[in-house]
Structure 1
Amino acid sequence: MSSKVVVIGGGVIGSSIAYFLRLSDPTVSVTVIERDPTYARSSSALSAASIRQQFSTPLSIQMSLFGIEFLRSIGERLEVDGARPSIDLHEGGYLFLATPAGLATLRDNHALQKRLGADISLLDTQELQTRFPWLNTEDLAAGAYGESGEGWFDGYGLVQALRKKAQALGARYIAADVTDVQRTGNRVTHVQTANGERFACDVVVNAAGAWSRKVAQMVGIDLPVYARRRSIFNVTSPAKLERCPLLIDPGGVYFRPEGQSFICGTSPSADNDPDDLPLDEVDHALFDDVIWPALAHRVPQFEALRVQNCWSGYYEYNVLDQNAVIGYHPDVANCLFANGFSGHGLQQGPATGRGISELILHGRYTTLDLGSLSFTRVLENRPIVEKNVV
């Protein structure tokens, strides 16, 4: 068993790992090194903070089923000194829409989701009109709607609650930038920070999010995870959309309620998605040329809307297959990875933290087997194809 664990990155992934480790075995020393304790630029705080089971791969569905179970019970799980955190979980559902060209895929995904226990309904156009009368269905064939277990929440609140609970359980948090990971043979021995501190470790976990590729390079490992900027727009509109879910249009534009307004966004085209774009800039052209026209087409009331606020955050984007890389590296015996979630980190964080803690403490997964997400698939170029990428 490993007695000293150093986790690089203290966002939702890193803090979930620290929480589950200390919860499962209080004798394990856990040090979390987080470069920005304010989380001002972290994906955990800047994302659209949502959860769904509407994936096309069994493991992603199962991870998010545990995710919603965790979020629903966060008050009891993460209580500290009698104070129970709240993340304002709103199970408003996802609504994936499909044109006739996408109908077969939607049906196949729905069948898999139902078989694994997700509460998803497949709605034809008449049912869509009945439930969501504000929706333009003229070019649609169907929609898949999460009746429960899907929705949105306070991502910043989640990372703070996990961090505080991990600290209460005895995890130590260090505010510093990692500058070197020292390796001897097939083992990492120390992690060094910018202020010269060195932390000895039996196990090191790379949970550095959008900066994980740089950390991997310090160990001499090529990780295919890059920082890809995603812009989010907060818009106001006179539209009154009853029972509004998080809606994903067939072209990839999404929107959801945010108080009395809405937030929306989409991924840029593959030929216009470079790495490491500055977070203090927003892709306004993407809103004008792609997002607004799609919103106005799908919801006619959105013809009249105004951008109230906007910001950018990073996806830690796995260019192999947009799925996470989780587990030990086969060439570095004590180096674990939890990276490349490509927009799914918040919802898959609890399952990842539990799984990584099991690997460290028991040498194997004891609950949900995350083995298919191992680094080996990267080395062997075996992508996992996910059809529901947002």
Structure 2
Amino acid sequence: MAPMGFATTPSRSSYDIVIIGGAIMGSSTAWFLANDPDFDGTVLVVERDPSYQACSTAHTNSCIRQQFSTELNVRISQFGADFVTNLRSYMGDERIPDMPIQSYGYMYLADNEGFAEALREAQKVQLASGAHTRLMSPDEIAAEYPFYQLDDIVLGSINTVNEGYFDGGGLFDWFRRSARERGVEYVQGEVSAITRDASGHKVLSVTLATGEVIACGQVVNATGPRAARTAAMAGIGLPVEPRKRFTWVFEAREKLGRDLPLTIDPSGVHVRQDGPETYLVGCKPDPDPAVAFDDFSMDHAIWEEFVWPTLATRIPAFEAIRVVTEWAGHYAYNTLDQNAVLGPHPELGNFHFINGFSGHGLQQSPAMGRGLAEMLVHGRYHSLDLSPFGYGRVLTNSAIIERAVI
């Protein structure tokens, strides 16, 4: 028996749009399709694991920020913030509870003049886009946030307007629930093959592991860290791989006296308030290789030898702490430039990407799902021009230079 909301087999043999992957990106795209008054077609979402236990969405830290160095990424997150905080209005559903952003902000700490200059240049972009980023001297940081040790810090950057963390799981649930209620069909299954026509310029169908062949007008690759495997079924190379990211939630014996912004330490460790009595800290391994799709093992040495000492050095009140829970998740990591790949393939025109978000996916899901739905229905982007994220840059090895990657 399939989980609630999922069929065991598709109800038909042909769909206008087949979305492979039903986590945050697939479900966002599905919802925006179903919400478009100009679209009256059929949509099938194929999800290999309806429990979502191993997907990137389930392991997210649910953060959102406007502190990017490129205007387009700033605009994408601004729409995400507006969509989340006004979700009930966007979806037209009174059942949806308030989902405010906990706007403690991101605090970037620079320990050298090169990083400080990058923060200054990024702030210019952010302010021009309507963000509220402030640059702070060490003395100004100490006055507002006296718990930091700042001997090595030359500059800080923070924005406390629509920047912090939110209920990412709630957003995902409503995307999925509302899409189903609007007629999108979800089926438990795994795509094992993608068939192109004789010319090679069009996808004709997807084949499920059960052997069922589903004809499709358009197909969307929304398979997170497995995106390269899905693209390869269509004969396409995609520079996306699973990279492991560690998260710990902990309590501290000594209280800070105020809420902790999501602090980006120069070491790469990032820590934030998680609840009234808990904090959340994350980091990447070093080295940072691609991992197996099912590798979610923890590295306890990295906590003892790196993360905890870094925390205690930057915030001395965190010398005495107790881990409450921990987990490892996967970034769908774009090795080209750590930015999304979005939209149609330039030659296989009905094969669409929504891949490679490299840790930015949850906050970008409203704008990216909306944009891809516009492309699928209208053949172009209406709301934001997302064409810089197109697959063409993969073919030419032309990276988007986004300096604010965590």
Tell me the TM-score range normalised by the shorter chain: over 0.9
Q: Secondary structure at the match of 1:201?
A: strand
Q: Secondary structure at the match of 1:333?
A: coil
Q: Pick closer, same or farther for the CA change 1:187–1:277 going to 2, 3 Å.
A: closer
Q: Secondary structure at the match of 2:399?
A: coil
**TM-aligned CA deviation for residue 385 of structure 1:** 1.7
Corresponding letter in the other structure for 2:157: A
Contact 2:101 2:163 in 1 (8 A): no
Runs of 4+ residues deviating >6 angstroms: none
1:20 aligned residue: 32
Query: Is residue 325 from structure 1 mapped to residue 345 from structure 2 by the alignment?
Result: no
The aligned runs of 1:147-296 (5 Å cut-off) are: 147-184=160-197, 185-241=200-256, 242-259=258-275, 260-269=277-286, 271-276=287-292, 278-296=294-312
**TM-aligned CA deviation for residue 84 of structure 1:** 1.1
Contact 2:134 2:157 in 1 (8 A): yes
2:87 aligned residue: 74
Q: How many residues align?
A: 387
From 358, 362, 367, the counterpart of 2:374: 358
Partners of 1:352 and 1:389 in 2: CA distance: 18
Q: Deviation string for 1:184-204 (max 9, x for gaps)?
A: 121111112122222211110
Partners of 2:98 and 2:204 in 1: CA distance: 38
Partners of 1:200 and 1:58 in 2: CA distance: 39
Corresponding letter in the other structure for 1:232: T
**TM-aligned CA deviation for residue 88 of structure 1:** 5.5
Partners of 2:372 and 2:17 in 1: CA distance: 11
Q: Secondary structure at the match of 2:336?
A: coil
Contact 1:79 1:85 in 2 (8 A): no
Contact 1:191 1:199 in 2 (8 A): yes
Partners of 2:384 and 2:139 in 1: CA distance: 38
2:112 aligned residue: 100
With the length of structure 1 as denominator, give the TM-score of the two structures. Answer: 0.96
Q: Deviation string for 1:362-384 (max 9, x for gaps)?
A: 11111100111110001100011
Instruction: Please say which of residues 26-35 and 161-170 is displaced more in the overlay.
Output: 26-35
Partners of 1:321 and 1:303 in 2: CA distance: 36
**TM-aligned CA deviation for residue 225 of structure 1:** 0.1
Structure 2 gap segments, 5+ residues each? 1-13
Corresponding letter in the other structure for 1:10: G
Partners of 2:39 and 2:353 in 1: CA distance: 22
Corresponding letter in the other structure for 1:254: H
Partners of 2:393 and 2:328 in 1: CA distance: 30
Partners of 2:332 and 2:350 in 1: CA distance: 23
**TM-aligned CA deviation for residue 239 of structure 1:** 3.1
Instruction: Please say which of residues 70-79 and 4-13 is displaced more in the overlay.
Output: 70-79
From 49, 54, 58, the counterpart of 2:67: 54
Corresponding letter in the other structure for 1:375: Y
The aligned runs of 1:341-352 (5 Å cut-off) are: 341-352=357-368
Partners of 2:133 and 2:103 in 1: CA distance: 12
Q: Deviation string for 1:301-352 (max 9, x for gaps)?
A: 1111122211111100000110110011112110000000000000111111
With the length of structure 2 as denominator, give the TM-score of the two structures. Answer: 0.92
Partners of 2:316 and 2:130 in 1: CA distance: 35
Instruction: Please say which of residues 292-301 and 19-28 is displaced more in the overlay.
Output: 19-28
Partners of 1:21 and 1:388 in 2: CA distance: 31
Q: Deviation string for 1:134-159 (max 9, x for gaps)?
A: 11111111111112110112222221
Corresponding letter in the other structure for 2:381: Y
Q: Secondary structure at the match of 1:213?
A: helix
CA RMSD across the alignment: 1.6
Partners of 1:289 and 1:328 in 2: CA distance: 45
Corresponding letter in the other structure for 1:60: N
**TM-aligned CA deviation for residue 15 of structure 1:** 0.7
2:21 aligned residue: 9
**TM-aligned CA deviation for residue 79 of structure 1:** 5.1
Partners of 1:274 and 1:244 in 2: CA distance: 32
Query: Is residue 120 from structure 1 mapped to residue 120 from structure 2 by the alignment?
Result: no
Q: Pick closer, same or farther for the CA change 1:85–1:12 going to 2, 3 Å.
A: farther
Corresponding letter in the other structure for 1:287: W
Partners of 1:214 and 1:86 in 2: CA distance: 38
Structure 1 gap segments, 5+ residues each? none
